[in-house]
């Protein structure tokens, strides 16, 4: 199997207050065709971590599951990258709890983690963490789009 990704999925989430109004963005890049697609959205009351997860979910949701694709998810969120590469197997083994002991608390944002896990399972995934606000072009664009989604949400709410 060729190990080069067919699609790079860059994601970012942002929140104005935590919790507060939030925005997410995904940028999909297809290296073979140089095609770029951007997505973004917002929620009026959320957290930064939920927006980071939503960006990855919406990006993966926009990619056809058939055929199975090689995708590299690139994020500045250690929460997303470590969750997918280190923590999720334990969460699943513990029935989505944060420990093995009786009464262990559930995984935070379990609804989003379960959806992200299912979507990632449709593809051959690799993951890359990048530092936020470090000049990475696609990460900076995702940040700009996520912040713009928050701004648009706030402006829209002012006129309702």
Active site residues: 12-13, 52, 76, 133, 143
Distance CA 123, CA 77 (A): 20
Q: Which of 134, 150, 115, 123 is nearest to 23 (CA)?
A: 150
Distance CA 152, CA 28 (A): 22
Is 51 in contact with 22 (CB distance < 8 Å)? yes
Q: Which of 6, 117, 4 is nearest to 68 (CA)?
A: 6
CB environment 57-90: b (16+ within 10 A), e (fewer) = bbbbeebeeeeebebbbbbbbebbbebbeeebee
């Amino acid at each position: 199997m060729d190990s080069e990704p067919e699609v790079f999925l860059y994601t970012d989430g942002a929140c104005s207050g935590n919790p507060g109004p939030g925005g997410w963005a995904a940028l999909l890049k297809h290296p073979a065709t140089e095609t770029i697609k951007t997505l973004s959205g917002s929620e009026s009351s959320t957290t930064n971590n939920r927006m980071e997860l939503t960006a990855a979910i919406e990006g993966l949701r926009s990619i056809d599951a058939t055929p199975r694709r090689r995708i590299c998810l690139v994020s500045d969120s250690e929460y997303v990258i470590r969750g997918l590469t280190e923590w999720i197997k334990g969460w699943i083994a513990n029935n989505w709890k944060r420990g093995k002991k009786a009464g262990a608390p559930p995984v935070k944002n379990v609804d989003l983690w379960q959806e992200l896990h299912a979507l990632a399972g449709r593809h051959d995934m690799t993951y890359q963490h990048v530092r936020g606000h470090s000049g990475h072009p696609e990460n900076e664009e995702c940040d700009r789009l996520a912040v713009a989604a928050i701004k648009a949400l706030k402006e829209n709410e002012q006129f309702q």
